[in-house]
C-alpha cells in the first residue's frame, strides 16, 4: 500500500519523459514500456488525485471511450497527435476524429467500468481502464482492461485545457513494435475509415490532415529489446 508521501500531488510530479518543444511531431512523444503480467485491472480507490484541469482531461477521454464524441473533446488532441492501440494507428487529429465518430457504427454501447490513475507526472498521465464494448451486429459484450497513456502537449500542461500529443492504449504485457502486417493494417484502417466519414464534426478537423508528420518509429519487437522497458504500474 502506498504511503501518503508516495502519492503524487494533484498537479503531478516534476518528472518529465518527453521533449519540451511543442512544435515537434506527435511521434516524438511515444512512451515505451512493457508490463510483468499485462494485468491492468483498475482499483479506483487507489487512483492518484488529479488537479481540476487534469481531471477534466481524463473525463473527456473517458467520454470519448463511451462513444460521446464532440468537437470540443476531440480538440483535446494536438493537430499532429498520434493514437495507437491494438487495432488503430491514427497519426493526425483528422484521422483521430474519424475513429471516435465512427465508433457508434460498430458498437451498440460502450461503458467505462472504472479507472485508476497510476502515473501523474509533469508530461504524462497513465490510467488503468476497464471498458465494456457491446457489438452492434453480434449481441456480445467484450470487457477489456487496458493501460491508457496520455503524453501531454508541453505548450498546454499548465493551462485549463490540456491537450494530448500521443495517446496509447495497451491491453497486454507487450508494447507495440509499430511494424509488420498488424501495424500495416492498423495504419490502413485509420487512413481509410476517415474517408467514409462525412459528418460535419469530422470535417471540422480536415485542416489537420497530415499535420507535422514524420515516419512512424519502428522497434522490431514489443519487448525490452524493442526499447520498451518493464514497468510495473
In the structure grid, which three cell numbers stand for residue 214, read together?
514524420
In the structure grid, which three cell numbers stand for residue 209, read together?
490532415
CA distance 229 to 233: 12
Q: Which domain holds residue 53?
A: 26-208
Closest CA to 171 of 88, 105, 101, 90: 88
Domain-located, residue 10 = no
Output the pLDDT for position 4.
Answer: 54
Output the pLDDT for position 1.
Answer: 44
Residue 13 CB contacts under 8 Å (≥ 6 apart), including other chains: 120, 121, 122
CATH number of the domain residue 49 falls in: 3.10.450.50
Q: Please report which helix (H) or strand (E) contains residue 161, including its range.
A: none
Output the pLDDT for position 233.
Answer: 81
- Would residue 180 be called left, alpha or beta, if left means φ above 0 and alpha means ψ between -120 and 50 degrees? left
Helix (H, G, I), strand (E, B) or coil at 127: strand
Look at the chain and report how many structural domains it folds into. 1
Digitized pLDDT (tens) for each residue of the chain, 233 residues in all: 455 557 999 999 999 999 999 999 999 999 999 999 999 999 999 999 999 999 999 999 999 999 999 999 999 999 999 999 999 999 999 999 999 999 998 899 999 999 999 999 999 999 999 999 999 888 899 999 999 999 999 999 999 999 999 999 999 999 999 999 999 999 999 999 999 998 999 999 999 998 888 888 888 888 877 788 888 88
* Planar angle of CA 95, 118, 65, nearest 5 degrees: 30
Domain-located, residue 228 = no
Output the pLDDT for position 5.
Answer: 58
Amino acid at each position: 500500500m502506498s504511503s501518503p508521501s508516495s502519492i503524487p500531488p494533484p498537479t503531478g510530479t516534476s518528472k518529465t519523459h518527453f521533449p519540451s518543444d511543442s512544435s515537434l511531431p506527435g511521434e516524438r512523444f511515444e512512451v515505451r514500456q512493457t508490463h510483468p503480467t499485462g494485468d491492468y485491472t483498475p482499483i479506483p480507490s487507489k487512483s492518484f488525485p488529479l488537479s481540476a484541469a487534469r481531471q477534466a482531461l481524463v473525463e473527456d477521454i473517458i467520454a470519448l471511450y463511451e462513444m460521446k464524441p464532440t468537437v470540443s473533446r476531440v480538440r483535446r488532441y494536438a493537430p499532429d497527435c498520434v493514437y495507437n492501440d491494438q487495432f488503430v494507428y491514427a497519426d493526425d487529429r483528422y484521422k483521430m476524429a474519424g475513429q471516435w465518430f465512427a465508433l457508434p457504427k460498430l458498437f451498440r454501447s460502450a461503458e467505462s467500468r472504472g479507472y485508476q490513475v497510476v502515473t501523474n507526472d509533469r508530461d504524462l498521465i497513465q490510467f488503468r481502464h476497464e471498458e465494456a464494448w457491446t457489438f452492434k451486429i453480434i449481441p456480445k459484450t467484450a470487457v477489456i482492461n487496458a493501460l491508457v497513456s496520455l503524453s501531454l502537449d508541453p505548450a498546454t500542461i499548465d493551462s485549463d485545457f490540456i491537450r494530448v500529443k500521443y495517446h496509447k492504449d495497451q491491453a497486454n504485457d507487450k508494447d507495440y513494435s509499430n511494424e509488420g502486417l498488424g501495424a500495416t493494417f492498423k495504419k490502413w484502417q485509420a487512413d481509410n475509415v476517415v474517408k467514409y466519414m462525412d459528418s460535419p464534426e469530422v470535417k471540422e478537423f480536415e485542416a489537420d490532415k497530415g499535420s507535422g508528420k514524420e515516419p512512424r518509429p519502428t522497434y522490431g519487437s514489443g519487448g525490452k529489446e524493442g526499447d520498451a522497458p518493464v514497468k510495473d504500474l
